Amino acid sequence: MNIKKVAMVGGGTMGNQIAMQVAISGYEVTCYSRKAETVEKAEAFSKGWFEKSVAKGKMTEAETAGIQSRLTFTTDLAAAVKDVDLVIEAVVDVLEVKRAILKQIDALTPDHTIFASNSSYIVSSKFCDVVSHPENVLNLHFFNPALIMKLVEVVKGPHCSEETIETMLAFVESIGKVPALVNKEIYGFIVNRIFSAITKEACYMYDQGVASFEDIDKAVKFGLSHPMGPFELLDMTGIDLEYDVLTEKYRMTGDLSDKPSPAIVERYARGEYGRKSKKGFYQY
């Protein structure tokens, strides 16, 4: 299948940057959010990013003008997904929210439209039953910041067709990213399962008073040669996102060990989400 027109559903940090990357790569893309303030913020970030790229000599004004002509922002879902070949979803990682938005989109799009969820953990077989063509549904997991990080996990569920997978592998390469194919659904896919295991143990040690979060980060960076420690990474990706993901997992499993760490819960309750709020584990 030849992808020409793309809709990005979700205009937050991830959604906006994915939309920008898709437009930079030559596709026509509309970025949608139901909130006008999110759309305004996304549009302002996009404009500022392209202006900085010109100022730094990374792009010409003509290049950025062409890219921005392919990138539009809207609060109108029907207009955003009209006649699109691909919808990439980056709404909050809560199953019922994803099911509801996909059901809406299915009624507004052509039969051939592929629905790709950017969920960090939730596999597409959990929501593919709300559409008329589940063979067109998969996970396409980008990493933050999406304009910089090269990896995209392409996750195949039992319902997903080989044609959809082949189309998405080619699409990921066409936007300058590196696809990693996950042949079998598993909660958290590849990277986040590894990240979650490290983060869970780091939070446990911090909650137990074994070491400060600063020293745990030092140990991981200088002992394991990771570029960032687990708490630095939580601040970058968003403590609110980690809280939502773990809370949703606990809802699904009922396993107390899946609940967010006290260190996460306390900061979430105080609105200390990391870099986005200027304070998380660290001050920014």
Q: What is the distance, to the nearest Å, from the Cα of residue 124 to the centroid of all Cα atoms in its chain?
A: 14
Residue 112 is among the residues annotated as catalytic for this protein = no
SS3 of residue 61 by DSSP: helix
CA–CA separation, 166 and 235 (whole Å): 35
Residues 6+ apart with CB under 8 A from 97: 91
Among 46, 117, 119, 192, the one annotated catalytic: 192
Residue 50 CB coordination number (10 Å): 22
Residue 163 is among the residues annotated as catalytic for this protein = no
CA–CA separation, 26 and 12 (whole Å): 21
Interior CA angle at 121 toward 173 and 172, to 5°? 5
CA proximity to 5, closest of 101, 84, 88, 120: 84
Residue 141 is among the residues annotated as catalytic for this protein = yes
CA–CA separation, 94 and 13 (whole Å): 17
Among 33, 117, 118, 120, the one annotated catalytic: 120
Among 141, 159, 185, 232, the one annotated catalytic: 141
CA–CA separation, 231 and 195 (whole Å): 11
Q: Which ranges constitute the DSSP H helices of the chain?
A: 13-24, 36-55, 61-70, 77-81, 95-106, 162-174, 191-207, 213-223, 230-237, 239-253, 262-269
Residue 261 is among the residues annotated as catalytic for this protein = no
Residue 57, Ramachandran bin (φ over 0: left; ψ between -120 and 50: alpha; else beta)? left
Q: Which of the residues are catalytic?
A: 120, 141, 153, 192
